[in-house]
A and B are shown apart, each in its own frame.
Chain A
C-alpha cells in the first residue's frame, strides 16, 4: 500500500484569529487569481475582432438613434412652449417647475417581475 512520505509535518505557529487575518489577506491578494491569457489562433482572433467591431457598430447605431430621438423630443418641448406663449395663463402654468423628486415606488425594471406587479389598493 502506497503511503506518501512526509518528512516534516507543517506546524503553523499562528493562532486561529491570526490565521483568519492571513486568510483574508490571501483572499484579497492577486496571486493565482489572474486568469491565464487566452491564446487565440489567427482565425479565432479575426473572429473575435469581427464580433467586437460588429457590436461596436451596433451599439453606436443605437446610441445615435437615442440621441436623435432625444433631440427631437427636446425640439418638440421647445415648439410646444413657443406655441403656448399665445396663452399667457397656460404658459405660466407650464413654466412652473415641480421640485418634487421622482416617486420612490418607481422601480428599475427586472427580468423576473413579481406575480402581482401592481398593488391596486395602495395607500401611502
Chain B
C-alpha cells in the first residue's frame, strides 16, 4: 500500500503563508486527522496532496513516487468533498462508476465493483436514484463509495461530516471508521472538530498559521500537549502560568507547585477535584465558585482564581454538596495531571 509523505512544503499567497515548511508522514493504511482552526493551512495541505494546489517548494511523496509535478488526474487519489460534489446529472451508480469509466474498466467488472462499493456503504439498491433524491447522510456515503471504488493510493476527506447534523455525524463517524478499516486505504482527513479528530484518527497533526505544531497519536497529544495552543485546541485546558523556581512553579497568588520545571502547566477540567476544607496536597489552589452549569450527565463549575476563569467538569452526582456561589473553594489534582507546557500561549 502507500505511505504518504510531505517534506518542507511551503505555499504562500502574497505575504501570507498558507503552508510553512510542513514535513509530515502519513503512515500506510492509517487514518490521519489534520486539525487546526480556520486559516491554519490544513485544507491547503490536503489540496496540495490532491494536486489542486501547487506548492512553492517542498516535495510530496505518494509511496515512492514524487508527485509535485503530477496533475490531479494522474495521482490516483480518492477525494470526498465537504459538499460531496456528487454529479447531479448522473445516478448514484453512474457517479460511483465514473472513476472506473475513466480507467476503462470493462462493463461487467465495472458493474460488479459498483455494486460492491455501494454494498460496502450500505446503499445497495440505491444505484438508480439521483443524488437529489438522497438524504445528507446517504450522499455522504455515495461520495465515499465513489472515492474508494477506484482503489486509490490515498483517500482525502475534506471536512466530510461537517454538513451533517450532530446525531447523524456521530453515526457517520463510526461508519467512516468501519469503511476505512475494511478497505485499508491510507486516509487523510481535515476537520476543525477536535472531537471528530480524536474519535476517528489513528494519528493527528495540528496546524497553526501554516505550521505543523504537533503530531502523534490522539492520546499522546492529548495527554502531553507540550504547548498552550495545543492544550487549548485539543480539548479544554486551564493554563496556569508563573515563575519557575528551584522548588517548583511559583504562581501569582504565591502558591508553589512542586516538581514543575516549566513556566506553565495545563490542567484538564476533568482532572480537577474540589474540596471545602483545604486538601492535604501541595497541588492545590484556592479559588472562588463563580457559576455552576448543568449539562446533562456532566456538570461544570466555573471558578474565579486571581481574575482568571478556571473550569472543572465532573459527573453530576459528584457535584451535589456544593457551597453557595461566591464561596471560596479549594481545587486540587494529582501531581501527574499537571501537563508541562513550554510556553503560556
Query: Are A and B a genuine interacting pair, yes or no?
Result: no
Residue numbers of B with Cβ under 8 A of A are: none
